[in-house]
C-alpha cells in the first residue's frame, strides 16, 4: 500500500531564467501637479511682494490725484 518514493534527477528539469527588467522611474501625475501648484504659489508670492513694495507709491499717487481734482474744481467754479 505504501509507495516508496522514486529518486529523481533534477538536472532534467529546465528552470526558466528570470528576466531582469529595469524600470524607468516615471514622472507621476502627482509630481507634475505639485510642481505646477508650487509655481503658481511662487508667482502669487511675487505679486504680493510687488504690491506691498509699491503700496506707498500708489497711496501717494491717489493723494496727488485728489489734490489735483480739488484744485481743478476750485478753478472752474470761480
The helix or strand, by DSSP H or E, that contains position 41, with its residue range, turns out to be helix 29-77
Residue 51 belongs to some domain of the structure: yes
Residue 23 belongs to some domain of the structure: no
Angle 57-58-62 from CA coordinates, rounded to 5°: 115
Give the pLDDT of residue 31: 83
Region 51-64 average pLDDT: 93
Q: What is the pTM of this model?
A: 0.48
pLDDT at 46 over 80: yes
Give the pLDDT of residue 57: 92
Cell numbers found for residue 41: 504659489
Domain ranges, residue 53? 29-77
Q: What's the total number of domains in the chain?
A: 1
CA distance 70 to 31: 56
Which of the residue ranges 2-11, 15-24, 30-39 has the most confident prediction, judged by mean pLDDT? 30-39
Amino acid at each position: 500500500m505504501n509507495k516508496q518514493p522514486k529518486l529523481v534527477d533534477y538536472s532534467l528539469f529546465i528552470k526558466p531564467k528570470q528576466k531582469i527588467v529595469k524600470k524607468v522611474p516615471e514622472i507621476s501625475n502627482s509630481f507634475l501637479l505639485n510642481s505646477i501648484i508650487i509655481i503658481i504659489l511662487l508667482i502669487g508670492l511675487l505679486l504680493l511682494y510687488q504690491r506691498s513694495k509699491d503700496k506707498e507709491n500708489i497711496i501717494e499717487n491717489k493723494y496727488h490725484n485728489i489734490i489735483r481734482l480739488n484744485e481743478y474744481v476750485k478753478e472752474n467754479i470761480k
